[in-house]
Structure 1
Amino acid sequence: MIYSSRFATKNVLKKAYNSAYRLQKCGLAQLSSNSPSPSILVTEMQNNSVLMTLNRPKSLNAVNAEMVSMIYSNLKAIEASTDAIDMVILKGAGKAFSSGGDVKTFLDGMQMPEKYEDLNTLLNNTYRSLFRLSTLKVPTVSLMDGLTVGLGAGFSYCTNFRVATENTLLLMPETTIGHFCDVSSSYYLSRLRGYYGRYLTLCAERVKAEDLLHAGIITHFVPSNRLDSMVSQLTGLRSSDSNAINQEISNFTEDLPTVTRLTTTLDISQSEKQTLVENCFKYDTVEEIINALELEGSKFALRCRSKILSASPTAVKITLELLRRASSLSLSECLVLERQLWATDIGTHDFVEGCKSMLGKRSPTWFPQRLEDYQAHLERFGKAEALAPLDLSA
């Protein structure tokens, strides 16, 4: 037994040494070993695959400035070393993939002058990371096991293979904190069939694996207890062939459960919901969508109406206009426009109020409070587009 234990320890140390050596060759070792908080993003090399784990489990892997900086640097290094890398896998530690951007970081950047530049750096690193992740020349996989919110969802959208489990709960809650849908969502969600992206963002809807598979947001459903084995098999492929990776993930998939449905809308079928969403969310103004939902009159439609009306009137109008424009823009154009809109959103009443209310666990007070009292959303786009565009490739 002593011999076995020593042998196992030697194997572990050997694997750790090999991983560190491979990371160093790809320019990733320093990030993993010498960072001020090395545990905040765990980067491993398994065979020829890079596994990045968002590692702030106590905050549900909320992404702060330091983590974004590390992700950005890692992706730059990976981009320069794709000949030595087969794939990149993103996952979260604990019970969440990621609860999104750190709201306190946003609030501090808006209210504390000395933190303003830090917020801008965070945003620039975020958008450059999303661009790099979506344009890497090696396949990318995200394991959306648990809560997947905001920026966490944004990182997932930018990967080639998006794997959900029975624990997955995705939402884009921006309109409930006085903000617009961002972090690449304008591009990806505006392209979902039947205006499903408008429904998700305007209602800040929570959705599970069944909803995500129906909408085309995820590529695979894999039970959570199979993820470790799946990752082991994927990294053991030693291949960057997308078809081989897809087949390997498919080997671990299961049919969605039918008895206990993985959906947040148990009172309506997916086909019924799709038809309703297509009919009610096809309009180009929020007021028309609200009226259509009221006329439709079902419990689901009235719930959607109530959710939109409880969100920031400013945010829902900007979000709808952004999705309308994004549907005809490229990914890079969408990322640039989102970043420009961010510059016009920092410090606005509703965004500050939304962040404060979330942190203080209270209901927000929007200004203006009614949809009909806010008509300046088109002016916001004019101001945003007049700003210098972010160089995504820097």
Structure 2
Amino acid sequence: MNFDYSDRVKELQAKLERFMDEHIYPNERVFAEQLAEQECRWFNPPILEELKEKAKQEGLWNLFLPKSEYGAGLTNLEYAPLCEIMGRSSIAPEVFNCNAPDTGNMEILERYGTEKQKENWLKPLLRGEIRSCFSMTEPDVASSDATNIRGSIVRDGDEYVINGHKWWSSGAGDPRCKFSIFMGKSNPNGPKYEQQSMIIVPLDAPGVHIKRMLPVFGYDHAPHGHAEIEFNNVRVPASNILWEEGKGFAIAQGRLGPGRIHHCMRTIGAAERALDIICKRIHERETFGKPLKDQGVIQEWIADSRIEIEQARLLTLKAAYMMDTVGNKEAKTEIAMIKVVAPNMALNVIDRAIQVLGAAGVSEDFPLASSYASIRTLRIADGPDEVHRRTIARQELKKYQKRSFSHAR
């Protein structure tokens, strides 16, 4: 495995880092101030749209979508260091049109959508004109097992009738969010993994009701947000089905692989920023007669943080390499491993940074508290740690199925 970055990636890294330094970090506070001053928190602050135009002009737009005519033509391995840079700021991914859940939805549409679906939904997303959400998780079942889903997709002539109660549909708070990709059961009596389908549901369709926006540890994540949505006898054209009936579970597995690794890449970026905050802060503060940088426990925290970040990064790069070379299915163990490792690593590093900053660490003057709250959800989102550990253990145990253990001691 060769993780050397190509000249093109190095060039994009340099451009992204310069853009972050010149435009993203200085405007994080502007974003927060404009959002607070708006009458409605669910509209994008003007600064975000200004930054997006700048990103387009500099060619830092739609850098994801490997092996696609619609993206930048980068592999997962090439995109990894770029996505990591974006992860250093909560506002950066949207500025570059590389934000979840739109990236995952664009990958679904690019891979499984019809030409009409691509024209109506994919291309406006790629241009940044609209946003989307993904409605899979339900409040009434254990959604870590997608086969539990109760939402229904029933064919009625030239239409499908959609019913279901979904929540944590991230992005639905934004008025620009025009559709949801809804996962539900279309054949409850079919084979276990062919009962589900996915379908495009316009959010302005009769019967779609956004019940409430859900805060995360007190953060509403406006203007993005996470919605609880009720779908009551919503009728959509049969042409809105994705791929075909019964392919919902397969699509979900295809979508969640790239989505998980993107989360891990961004999470590593957040950890790097937390470590950067630690290293800068300890040069400015003294305790008990000497600088914080000379305190042994602080040095241990820095060393442990660097070790943990590098371990997570290397495992993430390996997973990206495997996705590129042998495919997402064959890389599922590595994807599962990074999904456990990266959020836990980042939470450790951010927690140390909060401890170094003390009271300032839990304030809104630094990004640490909001970053911690956001990343803590990743131990649940796209599958909880326990499910991924189950996958890893099962794959490990398969290696021993045909072995003889008579010699074991």
TM over 0.5: no
The TM tier, using the shorter chain, reads under 0.3
Indicate the structure with greater helix content.
1
Indicate the structure with greater strand content.
2
TM-score, with normalisation over the residues of structure 2?
0.26
TM-score, with normalisation over the residues of structure 1?
0.27
